[in-house]
Amino acid sequence: MLLSNVFSASYTIARNRFREAALNLKANLESFAIDEKGSNHEELTIDFAFIGVKQPKWMVVVSSGLHGIEGFFGSAVQLAWMQEAVGRNELQIGTDGAILLIHAINPYGMAWLRRTNEDNIDLNRNFLLSNKTYKDAPFEYSLLNDFLNPKSPPPLIDPFVLIAIRTIWRYGYPVVKQAIAGGQYEFSEGLFFGGSSPAKSTQIIQAALPQWVSSAQQIIHLDFHTGLGKWANYELFPSVLPDPSRYTRVFRQFGLDKIADRVPYKCRGLMGNWLANNLIHTNYIYFNAEFGTYSGLKVLASLRAENRFHFYGKEDHKGIKAQLYEVFCPKASAWRHSALTQGLALVNKALEVSP
């Protein structure tokens, strides 16, 4: 199989291929519309494909597109896994397991080539626990707001790197990184905005996912992301676990060198923490599987330019959208082949260690 063929150029192509491959595996398919349209007026949906026995004892969940445009990679992993499963006529789910594939949790972002959703919400800052409120931004974010989110169209020549270096020199890199990426609930046109209430996608996941996994005593959830880490390498960021010692076996099987023992920055509203905290009747092991692409500065520059274009730009003369696609799903065949091979191995590993 030519692995590179599983990468899709648009959300619609990716969704159609996902649904077709799932039907080939006789999956139980369910689609949830988010009541928004794509650029060709197409319907935008989150698609669930369930494969396995009715009341499984264990499950593997593989999700893509929580961060919209990052979904082109996760979608490719899902499609490749399904195509391989059809090819070898083997599902690795035994008699008591199941796999649930969730396609494009943020279909708007995938369709419109954004990381955020229809309301500029970063969905992985939107899953606040019930005792938390959608309020405030870190003080440092307020200081950086003018730099991060200029209220003007992207200029022809953008002195971003110079300003970024000056900013980092002034405040220190850890402070800047934490302030920016940790999430904020105040600047609705800004980067890493966590929203003011649960978004439509969040509500769909919070209502549907617990139902699909209700009978399972153990769940391993791989949520695919890109844009953080070293080129074509991955790291697994587990959710905050109630009792980490219970998960040592699984961590070891995935390889302790691959499990991040540090958080890149403290975040509120992470989907994995919400799931682990709300599905406490089961062993819910969630990994944010982060695949590295370009440098943090380049990723931030592209995000900033696209956000600025989204709110204040007219024509995309500079190929800002194409640039964002590239930083989250590089076209280089070496990256695609390597990342996809590792992504597939992760899904197969989750199926192997689950029973």
Q: Which stretch binds Zn ion (CB under 5 A): 53-61, 68-76, 146-154, 196-204?
A: 68-76
From residue 77, give the alpha-carbon distance in Å to each of 87, 128, 154, 241: 15, 28, 34, 26
Minimum CB–partner distance for residue 305 and Zn ion (Å): 18
> Stretches 8-16, 69-77, 138-146, 333-341: which one binds Zn ion (CB under 5 A)?
69-77
Q: Per rule CB under 5 A, is residue 225 in the interface with Zn ion? A: yes
Q: Near Zn ion by CB under 5 A, which window of 61-69, 95-103, 149-157, 273-281?
A: 61-69
| 114 counts as binding Zn ion under rule CB under 5 A | no
Cα separation of the two ends of the chain = 28
Where are the alpha helices (H) located in 3-96, listed in sequence order? 11-24, 71-88
Residue number closest to Zn ion, CB atom:
225
Longest dimension (CA), the chain: 59
- Residue 39's CB is within 10 A of a number of other CB atoms, namely 11
Q: Which two tokens stand for residue 32?
A: 């949830």
Please identify, among the stretches 49-57, 67-75, 179-187, 242-250, the one whose residues bind Zn ion according to the rule CB under 5 A.
67-75
Residues 6+ apart with CB under 8 A from 25: 49, 51, 82, 85, 86, 91
Closer CB to Zn ion, 264 or 313, in the complex: 264
Q: How far is the CB of 225 from Zn ion (least distance, A)?
A: 3
**Stretch 25-54: interaction string toward Zn ion, x if CB under 5 A:** ------------------------------
**Is residue 67 at the binding interface for Zn ion, with CB under 5 A as the rule?**
yes
CB of 301 to Zn ion, least distance (A): 17
C-beta of 145 vs 288, nearer to Zn ion? 288
Helices (H) and strands (E) in the chain, counts: 12, 7
CB 36 within 8 A of CB 61: no
Q: How many residues bind Zn ion (CB under 5 A)?
A: 3
How far CA 321 is from CA of 115, 256, 303, in Å, comes to: 11, 36, 10
Which strands make up the sheet holding 234-238, listed edge to edge?
A: 28-37, 43-52, 97-103, 58-63, 218-231, 283-292, 234-238
Stretch that binds Zn ion, among 126-134, 163-171, 220-228, 263-271 (CB under 5 A): 220-228
15 in contact with Zn ion (CB under 5 A):
no
Instruction: Kindly list the residues in this chain that would bind Zn ion in the complex (CB under 5 A).
Output: 67, 70, 225
